[in-house]
Amino acid sequence: MLRFATLRLGRAAITIALVVTFAFVVLRLSGDPALIILGPEAPPEAIAAFRKSWGLDASIFVQYVDYFGAILRGDLGRSMRDGRPAILLVAERIPATLALTLPALAIKIGIGVPAGIYAALHRGGPVDRLVMMLAVAGFTVPSFVLGLTLVLIFSVQLGWLPSGGQESWRHAILPVVTLGTGGAAILARFTRSAMLEVLGQPYIRTASAKGVAWRAVVTGHALPNAAIPTVTMVGFMVGSLIAGAVVVESVFSWPGVGRLLVVAVANRDLAVVQCILLLVAGTMVASNLIVDFLYGLLDPRLRAGGRAGAH
C-alpha cells in the first residue's frame, strides 16, 4: 500500500513539475507581460521600469530557476497586475467557481446516472431513444451555444432570470444548468453503455435463473460492476471542479477561477496562471487517487493488487 501511494505521489509530483515548466516556457516565450499589461501606447521608460521591477530583464533561464526555486520554498509569487500574492487572488475566486461547479456536479450525477440506468434497463424502448437523443444533443452542443440560447429564452424573451453576473442565487441558475446539462449527457451515455455491457454478462443470467428478484439483480450485481467507468468519469469531473467552467464563466460574467485564468493568461500574469495550474493539477491528481481507491472498493480483484485475475 505504501509503495502504491509513494509511486502515485511521485508520479503526481513529476506531472506537476512538467505542467509548471511547460506553462512557464510557453507563457514567457510568447509574450512580454510588461507590454501586454501596460499596453502598446505605454511609454518605453514605463515598460523598462516594469520589466526591471519584476525581474523580466533577466535571462529566461535565470527567471525559470528563480521561479522554480520559489515554488519549492512554497512561494507562489505575486500577481503582476496588482502586486498581491497569487494564491490570495486564486483563493478569493474558488468559492464563486464552486458555487457553480458543485451544483452542476450534483445535476450531472443526479440526472445522468439514473437516466443512463433507466435507458439501459429499457433498451430500444421510446424512453431509451429519448434519453439517448437528449444525451447526444447535450453532449454535442457547445456550452457557449447552450448558455446563450438559455439566456435568449429565459432572460430576453421570458424575463424570468438574469442574463449574467453574480448578485444572487438566481444568477447562478442558468450557468449551473448550462454546466450540468453537458456533463449529465456524458454520464448518461457512459452509464448506459456500462450497464448494457454488464447486463449481457453470464453472471446476470445466472442470478436471474436462480430466481433472484430482478431489482436485486440490478442493484446487487449489475450496478456495482457497471460503476467503474462511471466512477472514472465522475472522478474526472471532480478534478475539473476548479477550472472546468472557463467558457461558462465568460458567457455569464461569473467571477470565478476560470475567468481569472483567462485574464491571467491574456496578461501573461505568470504567477497567477501557475498558481491555478498547480491547483488544477493538484485537484486532478487527488481526484485520480480517490478514484483508484474507489476501484479497490468496487472491485475485489483490484483490491488484491491484480492477483485475483491471475488465478
Partner 1 sequence: MTHFSRRDTLRLGSALAGGLALPRFAIAQADNRPSITIAVQKIVNSNVLDVLREQSNVGERVFFSSLWEPLITKNWQGNLERQPGLATEWRRIDDQTVELKLREGVKFHNGDEMTAEDVVFTFGRERMFANTEAKNRSTLKAFETIPAPRPGKELPPEIPAVARRAWPDLLRVEAVGKYVVRFYNATPDVTLEGRLSRYGSDIMSRRGWEEAATYLDWARKPITTGPYKVAEFRPDHSLTLVAHDEYWGGRPPLRQIRFVEVPEVASRINGLLSGQYQFACDIPPDQITGIERNVAFEVQGGTILNHRLTCFDKNHAQLANPLVRRAFTHAIDRQAIVDSLWAGRTVVPKGLQWPYYADMFHADWSVPDYNPKLAQDLLKQAGYKGDPIPYRLLNNYYTNQVATAQVLVEMWKAVGLNVQIETKENWTQIMARGPERAVRDWSNSAPFNDPVSSIVNQHGPNGQQQQIGEWRNDEMNTLCEFLETSTDRAKRKAAFRRMLEICEREDPAYTVLHQNATFTAKPKALKWKASPAFAMDFRPGSYGA
For position 260 contacting partner 1 by CB under 8 A, the verdict is yes
- Within the chain, residue ranges assigned H as helices are 2-29, 33-38, 44-53, 60-72, 86-121, 126-140, 143-151, 170-199, 202-209, 214-217, 223-239, 246-251, 257-266, 270-298, 300-303
For residues 278, 284, 289, 291, the Cα torsion angle rounded to the nearest 10 degrees is 170
Q: What is the DSSP letter of 144?
A: H
Which of 9, 25, 136, 156 touches partner 1 by CB under 8 A? 156
Is residue 169 a contact point for partner 1 (CB under 8 A)? no
Which lies closer to partner 1 via its Cβ, residue 106 or residue 145?
145
Tell me which residue of 109, 116, 92, 100 sits closest to 165, measured CA to CA: 100
Burial (0-12, 13-18, 19+ Cβ within 10 Å), 254: buried
Shortest Cβ 87–partner 1 spacing (Å) = 16
| Structure-block grid coordinates of residue 183 | 456533463
Between the alpha carbon of residue 290 and those of residues 5, 16, 193, 194, the distances in Å are 11, 18, 23, 20
Residue number, 119 or 257, with CB nearest to partner 1? 257
* Per-residue cell: 117: 440506468
**How crowded is residue 164: how many other Cβ atoms within 10 Å of its Cβ?**
17
Decide: is 82 part of the binding site for partner 1 (CB under 8 A). yes
Under the binding rule (CB under 8 A), the answer on residue 163 touching partner 1 is yes
Please tell me whether residue 170 binds partner 1 under the rule CB under 8 A: no
Please identify, using beta-carbon distances, which residue of 139 and 154 lies nearer to partner 1: 154
32 lies in the binding site for partner 1 (CB under 8 A): yes
Nearer to partner 1, 70 or 263 (CB): 263
Kindly tell me which residue out of 18, 46, 60, 102 binds partner 1, with binding defined by CB under 8 A: 46
Question: Which three cell numbers mark 229?
Answer: 467507468
Residue 96 neighbours by CB under 8 Å, 6+ apart: 166, 254, 255, 256, 257
* Interface residue with partner 1, options 11, 22, 84, 133 (CB under 8 A): 84
Query: In this chain, which of 225, 250, 294, 296 binds partner 1, going by CB under 8 A?
Result: 250
Q: How many residues bind partner 1 (CB under 8 A)?
A: 49
Judged by CB under 8 A, the stretch of 98-106, 147-155, 194-202, 274-282 that binds partner 1 is: 147-155
Which residue's CB is nearer to partner 1, number 9 or number 48? 48
Q: Is 24 in the site for partner 1 (CB under 8 A)?
A: no
Contact 256, 93 (CB under 8 A): yes
Which residues lie near partner 1 (CB under 8 A)? 30-32, 35-50, 52-53, 79, 81-84, 144, 148, 151-152, 155-156, 159, 162-166, 250-253, 255, 259-260, 262-263, 267-268
